[in-house]
Amino acid sequence: MKEKILLIEDNDQNRYLATFLLEQRGYGVEQAVDGPSGISLAERMRPGLILLDIQLPLMDGYAVARQLRLNPVLDQTPIIAVTSYAMVGDREKALAAGCDGYIEKPINPETFVAEIERFLPADTA
């Protein structure tokens, strides 16, 4: 069975594209539009993977990742930063905050799902 994926993203178009690509490959996707609602939803749904925008309203993605890592139920859940932040040091900052991976926007529809599947157990990807 495919993992459930939580997408924390405030941009409608980005949410639509990522959700479309993932659902086409059989993944269930839940969405949150800001950091606090993403944390709350993650705690309730216990996703197999979290896709996290960094530039979010109310709470940036770095703070969201740090908060998720404090929860023992979610501390091993893969978190992938999906962000337009692509300057020197941005990848390292996302990883230091608790993210396991980093994908630059705009995402490549041809490779996006394969990129995140690297972070899922082989039997669920």
Any domain includes 124? no
Q: Tell me the per-residue pLDDT of 72-122, one tens digit each, with 9 for 90 and over.
A: 999 999 999 998 877 778 899 999 999 999 999 999 999 999 999 999 987
Read off the pTM: 0.95
pLDDT for res 28: 97
Any domain includes 70? yes
Q: Tell me the per-residue pLDDT of 14-67, one tens digit each, with 9 for 90 and over.
A: 999 999 999 999 999 999 999 999 999 999 999 999 999 999 999 999 999 999
Any domain includes 105? yes
Any domain includes 8? yes
Range of the domain at 12: 4-117
Beta 101-104 vs 49-52: how paired, if at all?
Answer: unpaired
pLDDT for res 123: 67
* pLDDT-above-70 percentage for the chain: 95
Any domain includes 123? no
Any domain includes 76? yes
DSSP at 38: H
CA nearest neighbour of 65 among 105, 88, 93: 93
Task: At 13, list the tokens.
Answer: 């178009």
Any domain includes 122? no
**Spatial contact of 34 and 60, defined as CB atoms under 8 Å apart:** no
- The total number of structural domains in the chain stands at 1
Any domain includes 57? yes
Angstrom distance (rounded) from CA 94 to CA 17 = 22
Q: Give the model's confidence band at 1: pLDDT under 50 very low, under 70 low, under 90 confident, else very high.
A: low
What CATH number should be reported for the domain holding residue 100?
3.40.50.2300
pLDDT for res 76: 94
